[in-house]
Amino acid sequence: MNNSQPRGAVLLLNVLVIGTVCVVGAAILARGSFEGFLDSATSLSAWETRADVFGCIDEALIQIQKDNDFAPLNIYTGTATCTLSVTIPTIGQRSIVASLTEGNITRTATALVTLSPFAVTQITEP
């Protein structure tokens, strides 16, 4: 009399269930890692754009200190070309707004300057 049980089918079913769970878990982890990588790359680009726009503000401050009437539409640095807006909020002051768009990232910085004596009163970034 043969009393053998079909143990191979039960083992195969367990291996398939465990394998499916592992593949789904690995896919979820891979997706999270990929999205984290994309977020990291976007964050790095945003910081680079911020550094470039502050470089434009620095260059504009140097030029305004030399020439109080300095007011071009664009300013060029070694790494960026920024849109520049120079206004006169009150006599003896200048407001400088520099803006830079790289890809889908736009950064803007504003500096308020007193001309005599030359002093940077405020730098903000919205």
Model confidence at 15: pLDDT above 60: yes
What is the structure's pLDDT at 92? 92
- How do residues 79-107 score in pLDDT, each as one tens digit? 889 999 999 999 999 999 999 998 888 99
Q: What gap in Å lies between CA 78 and CA 5, rounded to an integer? A: 78
- Residue that is written with structure tokens 């504009």 in the block: 60
What is the structure's pLDDT at 9? 64
**pTM: predicted TM-score of the whole model, two decimal places:** 0.68
Provide the residue ranges of all domains of the chain, joining segments of one domain with +.
7-124
